[in-house]
Amino acid sequence: MMNATQNAFTQSFIDPAPLPERLGHKVDETLNHYPVEALGEILAPMAKDLNEVIKAPIALCGQSVLMASALVAQGFKNIEIDGRVFPVSLFSLIIGESGERKTAVDKFAMQPIKAYEFEKQQQYKEEIAAWRIKKEAHAQAKKNIIAANKKENNPDAIEVQLKKLGAEPMPPLSPTLTSKDATIEGVVKHLRQSMPSLGIFSDEGGVFFGGHSMSAEKVTKTIALYSQAWDGSELDMMRSDADVGAFKLYNRRISINLMVQPIIAKAVFSDPLLIQQGFIPRFLISEPISTMGTRLYNDEQITERNGYKRYFSRIKSLLDKGIFIEESGGLDLMNLTVSNNAKPFFIAFHDEIERQLSKDGELRHISGTAAKIAEQALRVAGVLTVINHENKQSFITEKEMQSGIDLARYSLNQLIRMGEKALISKEVENARKLLNWIADNRYPFLYSNLDANKRPNTIRPKQAYEMAVSELAEYGYIEAVEDMEIDGRKRKNVFKVIHYYEPDE
């Protein structure tokens, strides 16, 4: 006669159950839905064209065109609501494996901006040549004034004539709008002496995080300055160099779009300085589901697509109109207000998020990002307003506000999904260890004190064991049965083993 243990062991091979899923496939993928239609009539068709022709994930395409648009919009507008003023600058982190076609998407999303820079560089060469001549002429005139009054030794006369001569001519502004790998000193120099609007855009974001400005001795200063720029605050700089000294830069704007591989993202999200100092919580996050394996060849040219043509035309047209620069070198920005119809949508979203930041709230564990997500919605709505209405509208409509909320919520959901994946990976690891242990020992039944001191170390604690058991039960590897006598003793909380191994990938 077989006992219960022997009978169950035999039955598991005689009458096998249908194969279960592999462990770890229960992440809520609804959190990964990218609301592409929220991008509006200019950006959404471009994102779809990128997705259909390049075959990159739609979220990668959407975030790329949104970020290119933020770089353009930040030079024109702020947002004002109830006396509070916010930039429309955006920071974005797009996470994707090598081969996800990040570079191809970035190339076409940035093409109108690169075309503008190229055209303006030709003009800049002519302007810089003319400026050098004027500068030399001014310097010679200054020398002549001083030499002519040297014998009389009359400082007052020299002063009068120098004032009449006027200040040295200012050099033309470099039309550079973007940089892939600027040092923080280079960024400050650019914002002070060249265009007051800049985009740090890189399809190899690992270079940014591994660069000189993010080294141990520089990182605190770097993230502080970038955070100030995101906030729209003045940028404080102090130098011991007498020619540079101390200065403040007002009304400068920076947008950052970094595309990184998962291994870089993991290091970034585990860096307490980047998180706790509020740098990464200022980023919109996207980790699109890969399209690799489905990207059959498409011989279309994206530049022939109507969505691309409209996008290129709108972005280039806005750049050609030119930004307004104050005498001090900062941006002369107009305010977008939030319309009366749009404001209730913003308030409802703001309060919804705030309630979830309470001590036991669902978003408390990502409070840094969640606390900024309503403002992110405002900023995105501002960008869409500038692009959709060609910078001709002074208020955010209900439609753009809802779109901003949808896109900001997507980013928040991405962070929640990433957290779920991290949590599940730990649960799955323990469940897999438990399953392997069961298989190695060919246990037909599982119960809490079954060789408890021989279980793998990580699943010896009661809570870890119970979570691993729950995971195996959920995926159909074991199933609960009634209490029974096993090996001569009454056992409780018994599970029958249905499968000893995971199916192949």
Average pLDDT, the chain: 88
Task: Pick 348 or 134 by higher pLDDT.
Answer: 348
Indicate if the pLDDT at residue 28 is higher than 70: no
Per-residue pLDDT of 89-124, as tens digits, reads 999 999 988 889 999 999 999 999 999 999 998 888
Question: What is the distance between the alpha carbons of residues 35 and 408, in angstroms, rounded to a whole number?
Answer: 10
The Cβ-side half-sphere exposure at 451, using a 13 Å CA radius, reads: 13
Where is mean pLDDT largest: 145-149, 255-259, 326-330, 359-363? 255-259
User: Which pLDDT score, from 0 to 100, does residue 151 have?
Assistant: 72
Indicate if the pLDDT at residue 366 is higher than 80: yes
Angle at 257 between CA 253 and CA 262, to 5 degrees: 150
Residues 136, 139, 143, 149: is their CA dihedral positive or negative? positive
- Locate the DSSP E strands across 166-240: 178-179, 197-202, 235-238
Where is mean pLDDT largest: 7-16, 28-37, 412-421, 429-438? 429-438
Residues 152, 156, 161, 167: is their CA dihedral positive or negative? positive
Where is mean pLDDT largest: 118-127, 188-197, 401-410, 495-504? 401-410
Per-residue pLDDT of 209-234, as tens digits, reads 988 888 888 899 899 999 999 999 99
The number of beta carbons lying within 10 Å of the beta carbon of residue 141 is 14
Indicate if the pLDDT at residue 254 is higher than 90: yes
Per-residue pLDDT of 32-69, as tens digits, reads 899 999 999 999 999 999 999 999 999 999 999 999 99
User: Which pLDDT score, from 0 to 100, does residue 242 have?
Assistant: 46
CB 128 within 8 A of CB 113: no
Question: What is the distance between the alpha carbons of residues 134 and 132, in angstroms, rounded to a whole number?
Answer: 5
Answer whether 0.95 is exceeded by the pTM: no
Q: Of all helices (H) and strands (E), which one includes residue 394?
A: none
CB-neighbour burial class of residue 143 (10 A; exposed 0-12, middle 13-18, buried 19+):
exposed
User: Which pLDDT score, from 0 to 100, does residue 374 have?
Assistant: 96
